[in-house]
Structure 1
């Protein structure tokens, strides 16, 4: 988050872990790939809770959630002057807490692009708790939010209410992303922009299997059809080990534009400590750059 925003802080990282502050919570969670030593080992003793295991979904919270997190944290996200939204944070069994702070720059970009395209129709796939949906909606876009998990869609709707966007033009869809896009193509529906943050692996509400290596390119081709070859903006992010920004950009180029057109902007999603140490937390590709 911005340096003048006290709500979030990356305190330290190392040995495959990261130490973060969300308001009053100081959390010790997995950070795969960070094998160097932490800079300030003494600070880790201040953790409110630790999510055990080397990766999200592979551990448990210690102490148990009920002993330290009886209520959710109200997390403000500032996009620009007088433009913001809010997200409820609470610890989930997967080790996530409802927000990815490294996405702030992308949320600001989404709002900027949405303002440039009045009444834009935006499709947000793998929408999770709604950060990208709210960034587009608060900037005036009409958004279709799709996620396979009913609980995550419910949480995203809560965040819309908290952000004063309960009456915003948002459709909330519990569905497998690929199946939804296939149906939208058959219905003849179109969108101005698409946002995707796919997992490495996943399951749809009816047991559909997802693998990013196998399924991302066909899904992007469907997205290209839904934008009729004339996208206003596209954002693709991922947190998949071994998939770099250049590879993500190539997927986006091939899936949407073939080998023609302006290449997407791409880069890493980073978090920084107060000492400017960078923790790589994902990759992005977006168009226009």
Structure 2
């Protein structure tokens, strides 16, 4: 299964090649590296030469932006009725993964068609794309958890920017393992869980996360905060070298053993305007109730 985020108007993947991608974020064009892009660039002309910003990697790690045209510190783009702040960071990211729009549509549809109050737990929640989608879809409550305070504050801004400030959203800065363990002790339950675990990371207390060592254990832990009638569990991953079947097998060995439902897995990508190629952007696995 390949899911395409192909309904954007404010975002466009213009072209790709030679390890880089050329993107339009609203009115602004950015040129950034991408390790997946090992095919050649067909023609480095036009916007390739004159983007608003070009991120250059450093041989010492990291990198920096070179601005060729006047560019604001941050600006707003919309996906359908959802709004997000875009801000180029020192790690080449912009605060939003546009391919996730395919998941946002699915989340909204699942919650709206549930015809009952749905409590959502969003883990490794970053700047809150899935949080905004869940709130927009009508979730009774959304709990947004991320270890980085700056990302949580950014997510709060996105929720308000989308006109959803009156929705019940809890924002938590914490290590996700410790948070879920506390929720188990408190007896709190959720009808839907979304997670986007990194390949490697550290919690606010220095806790180490390695996906190949922790993911199975963590999903098993999350089974203890699922309600008796769960709606879905969505796992995203950007870990290179992982097949979608890895996520599917983990779901079959965990939630698939406890609840009846449908399990699917696949890739997620963005179409390239200039060439018609598809840029693969990660993998996912889903369990959903029948």
Could you tell me the TM-score, scaled by structure 2's length?
0.90
Report the counterpart of residue 74 of structure 1 in structure 2: 76
Structure 1 residues 246-284: Cα deviation after superposition (integer angstroms, max 9, x where no partner): 111112222322398555111111111124210001011
Contact 1:60 1:95 in 2 (8 A): yes
Instruction: Output aligned runs, 1:200-219, within 5 Å.
Output: 200-219=199-218
Shift of 1:54: 8.2
Shift of 1:207: 1.1
Q: Does 1:288 align with 2:288?
A: yes
Instruction: Output aligned runs, 1:214-229, within 5 Å.
Output: 214-228=213-227
Report the counterpart of residue 30 of structure 1 in structure 2: 33
Which consecutive unaligned segments of at least 5 residues does structure 1 have? 79-83
Contact 2:52 2:71 in 1 (8 A): no
Contact 2:152 2:173 in 1 (8 A): yes
Q: Does 1:40 align with 2:43?
A: yes
Report the counterpart of residue 81 of structure 1 in structure 2: none
Residue 113 to residue 233, structure 1, CA distance change in 2 (3 Å):
same
The total of aligned residue pairs comes to: 280
Give the distance between the partners of 1:19 and 1:138, measured in 2 at CA.
30
Residue 276 to residue 259, structure 1, CA distance change in 2 (3 Å):
farther
Report the counterpart of residue 95 of structure 2 in structure 1: 98
Contact 1:69 1:91 in 2 (8 A): no
Residue 119 to residue 263, structure 1, CA distance change in 2 (3 Å):
closer
Report the counterpart of residue 190 of structure 2 in structure 1: 191
Question: Could you say what secondary structure the match of 1:122 adopts?
Answer: strand
Contact 2:216 2:250 in 1 (8 A): yes
Which consecutive unaligned segments of at least 5 residues does structure 2 have? none
Question: Could you say what secondary structure the match of 2:92 adopts?
Answer: coil
Shift of 1:116: 2.3
* Poorly superposed stretches of 4+, deviation over 4 Å: 259-263
Higher normalized contact order (CA 8 Å, seq sep 6+, divided by chain length): 2
Give the distance between the partners of 2:19 and 2:257, measured in 1 at CA.
38
Structure 1 residues 154-210: Cα deviation after superposition (integer angstroms, max 9, x where no partner): 010011111111110000000011111111111111110100011111111111111
Instruction: Output aligned runs, 1:159-198, within 5 Å.
Output: 159-198=158-197
Contact 1:30 1:54 in 2 (8 A): no
Could you tell me the TM-score, scaled by structure 1's length?
0.90
Give the distance between the partners of 1:255 and 1:29, measured in 2 at CA.
37
Give the distance between the partners of 1:106 and 1:260, measured in 2 at CA.
22
Report the counterpart of residue 127 of structure 1 in structure 2: 125
